[in-house]
Amino acid sequence: MTQDNKFIRSLIESAKRGNNAALEQLFEMNLGKIYKLSFLLTGDKPSADLITINTFINAWDFTDTIDEDITFAEWIKDITVYVALHELKKQDKSDEPKELEDYELIEKFPSSSVAKEYLKLSDTNKFILTLNFIENYSADAIAKMLDIGTNDIAQRITDSIKTIKSGSDEKPSVDTVLEKLENLPGEIIPEKNLLKYALDKIHDMKFEDWEKEEKKRLKEEILKYRKETKENKVEQKIDKIKIKREIPKLHFNKKFLLYPIIIAVLVTFFLYLFSDTTQWTMVIKSGTPQLNNQIIAGNTEINIGDIVQTNDISEATLEMPDVGTIEILESTTIERLGGSYSAKLVIGKIIVNTDGAKDLLHIEISQAIINEFSLGSNYILHLDESGNSAIELIDGWLQVISSETEFIFPGEYNLKILNNAGAGLPFHTSSTSEFINLLEEYIFGRKSDINLNMIIESSSAKDGITLWNLFRIVKPGQRRVVYDKLDELFPHPDDINRKDLLTLDEDMLYVWLEEIEWLM
């Protein structure tokens, strides 16, 4: 039984205790051997680089399996062989002879005719010959790896040697062929940065694994908390959702028109509370923007009822304390409305940024009301001369109310709103063009032959928020189709049931939305 010396054993024990530097030192000591073996098993530099890197990654993951019965060099060599075997089995034509032009060689690979004929062997036969003659693996061991009969292995070895012998210019004897094969590792040297690249990749993967474990741990804690305090959890979510939904409605929900006395009290209260404290400032970015049809020479305050206009060569920014900014691009008209933070886009294009906001911003357009569903967002809003508009939400969450229908969506989703047709459905920026086209044709009635099943079949996980919004607006008889797909992609929590969702229980729907947001 061969064992490592005391120094190597001390490095191994230190590595097992989590000392990464010790493991890296062991890798460095064995880099040359691993690379030589990787190259001989494949004959190709890129393949050798890949196998070497993946060998170190696997060795890092299985450090605790190092056994005292074999040396570290033998242990990591076995990993190299099985990594190479995995790559070999992925090939479609591993048994076909090769041509020299198929390879990218290392600089110091031998130029003898024996070496060249060796490279011409099929990938499987190179694998067998390297293990048998250079690494001293038995035919039985190789047969088990490749799932080939032992007699077949022996025959392949014999045929490969004959092929090399007959193809070589020197017409060497069998002994000479075997001697040259054993000496092939010779001057095979890896690039200096190969180990560093492998270690960098390991560290990146470990960080990703840590992030995944943290998310998994956090989710397990949340699920445990749900189980232990089920009713309280649902109530907390419902209360939070109601707060999110009711704040925007205090300003804009048209249902409040039925309650003029409440409206009057609220308006009076908000005007009193914010009239002296929420000063907006217009900062000129370029050209000569106008305020209430008057050209403004410098920065100025914007009051309730003020209208800002830019032409095709001017831009401005509205700065709002505790909220953020509205960039007013060329050829745009925007009006500040009553209340603390609300405005109406009459025409043109604006960029809204409320990162770090302490209050919510509300934007009206001709066909819809755009509310922030949670604090902090970043989006682009464009309203053209025809009354059509588009929202590109970069960060945050928005609530859009159009014809008393509510749509909610997060960053990386877009929404189109057509004049006289209302809002479409929010769609992910990476959704397929097929899905988006089907969606628009279905929602806007452009084609009568588009049915719900066609949309469902073309959807994927990234369309989860779209499907959630679709589920809320389809006819009752069609909800089951959308529900089945959405539940397949994002199973709803155990503390809500299917019946509540199919009957559009708003509280339960928002609980499911939070789950979809988490899983995405």
- The model's pLDDT over 75-133, given as tens digits with 9 standing for 90+, comes to 999 999 999 998 888 887 788 887 777 667 666 676 778 888 888 888 899 899 889 88
Split into its structural domains, the chain has a count of 2
* Residue 462: inside a domain: no
User: DSSP label at 170?
Assistant: T
pLDDT value, residue 373: 84
Q: Given 384, 419, 454, which residue is the final one in a domain?
A: 419
Which residues are 345's β-sheet partners?
A: 334
Q: pTM of whole model > 0.85?
A: no
Among 164, 197, 230, the domain boundary falls at 197
Task: Classify residue 7 by burial, with Cβ atoms within 10 Å: 0-12, 13-18, 19+.
Answer: exposed
Q: Count of alpha carbons within 13 Å of 518, Cβ hemisphere only?
A: 17
> What is the domain range of residue 120?
6-197
Indicate whether 78 belongs to any domain: yes
Q: Is 248 among the domain residues?
A: no
| H-helix or E-strand spanning residue 489 | helix 479-489
DSSP assignment of 234-299: HHHHHHHHHHHHHHHHHHH-GGGGG-HHHHHHHHHHHHHHHTTT--EEEEEEES--EETTEE--S-
- Establish if 371 belongs to a structural domain: yes
249 pLDDT tier (thresholds 50, 70, 90) = very low
Q: Say whether both 412 and 291 belong to one domain.
A: yes
Instruction: State the pLDDT at residue 290.
Output: 93
Same domain, residue pair 191 and 65: yes
- Evaluate whether residue 501 is within a structural domain: no
Q: Read off the pLDDT band of 493 (50, 70, 90).
A: confident
> What is d(CA 380, CA 283) in angstroms, rounded to the nearest whole number?
19
| pLDDT tens-digit readout, 283-331 | 999 998 999 999 887 889 999 999 999 999 999 999 998 899 999 999 9
Flag whether 256 is in a domain. Answer: no
Average pLDDT, the chain: 82
Residue 516 lies in a domain: no
Q: Do 166 and 28 lie in a common domain?
A: yes
Q: 243 or 143, which is more confident?
A: 143
Residue 464 CA neighbour count, 13 Å, CB half: 20
The CATH code of the domain that includes 283 is 2.60.120.1440
Q: Tell whether the model's pLDDT for residue 273 goes beyond 70.
A: no
Whether 34 maps to a domain, the answer reads: yes
> How far apart (Å, rounded) are the C-alpha atoms in residues 312 and 183?
76
What percent of the chain clears pLDDT 70, i.e. is strictly above it?
84
